[in-house]
Amino acid sequence: MSILVNAQNICKSFNMGTKQLDILKGVDFQIHPGEFIALMGPSGSGKSTLLNIIGCLEKPTSGSYVLAGKDMLQCSDSELATVRAEKIGFIFQSFNLLGQLSVEENVELPFLYVDCDFAKYQQRAQDAIELVGLTDRRLHRPAELSGGEKQRVAIARAIAMNPLLILADEPTGNLDSVTGTGILDIFAALHQKGTAIFLVTHDPLVADFAERVAHIKDGLIMSS
């Protein structure tokens, strides 16, 4: 089986004054195309740091990271920006929507970072909005939406580019259980369509939706 994400011996440290804080301490982690993985661990264990490295938002202090056959640590900042726009969809607990833009305009944001036929890609946005059930809300702004609707907008934005990988950091953390289950059902449907999903959570009920669960503690993968 081919490997989509191949992270080897990943270490990440931060300097805190005169002290060095070691967050990741030699993590090996792989994701195959179309796989749905949940990463669990207590606060401060390195979950979000690993997700940020896989998402090319941060670089490791040491180690190697290959995404879709390309060495991410040898890429320039502009090349990494292109990778993030074209190959990775991001979904965060805080939604990260722009309040002055409509649902439609928020979903179209990734298109601004790639050289594309905007009119053609607008149809992708409409398809993504329809997939998450928000066609009738597409002209509304975030302030007019519920928490669950905001997260569905974030999912539509993440999938509009047809990414190879979706990264979700505590995507149901700000939602009630019923709304959160609805969001996870969307993830399950995307997984069935062949999209790889890497979800970070502390909630075992959320992790149950994944086909594989990995555990991290004190900067080390304990099981996967």
CATH class, 34-59+87-223 region: alpha beta
- Per residue in 138-171, pLDDT tens? 999 999 999 999 999 999 999 988 899 999 998 8
What was the pLDDT predicted at 174? 84
Confidence (pLDDT) at 116 = 67
- Give the pLDDT score at 10: 97
Q: Which one-letter amino acid corresponds to residue 50?
A: L
Q: 50-77: per-residue pLDDT in tens?
A: 999 999 999 999 999 999 999 999 999 9
- Say what the pTM is: 0.90
| Identity of the residue numbered 33 | P
List of residues 6+ apart from 88 with CB closer than 8 A: 55, 56, 163, 164, 165, 166, 167
Beta pairing class for 212-217 and 220-223: antiparallel
Whole-angstrom distance, CA of residue 35 vs CA of residue 14: 31
Smallest Cα–Cα separation from 104: which of 147, 138, 59, 153?
A: 138
Q: Which of 127, 201, 132, 124 is nearest to 167 (CA)?
A: 201
User: What pLDDT score was predicted for residue 107?
Assistant: 94
* pLDDT digits (tens), the chain, 224 positions: 589 999 999 999 988 888 888 999 999 999 999 999 999 998 889 999 999 999 999 999 999 999 999 999 999 998 998 899 889 999 988 888 999 999 999 999 888 777 767 777 788 899 999 989 999 999 999 999 999 999 999 999 999 888 999 999 988 888 888 888 988 998 998 999 899 999 999 889 899 999 999 999 999 998 76
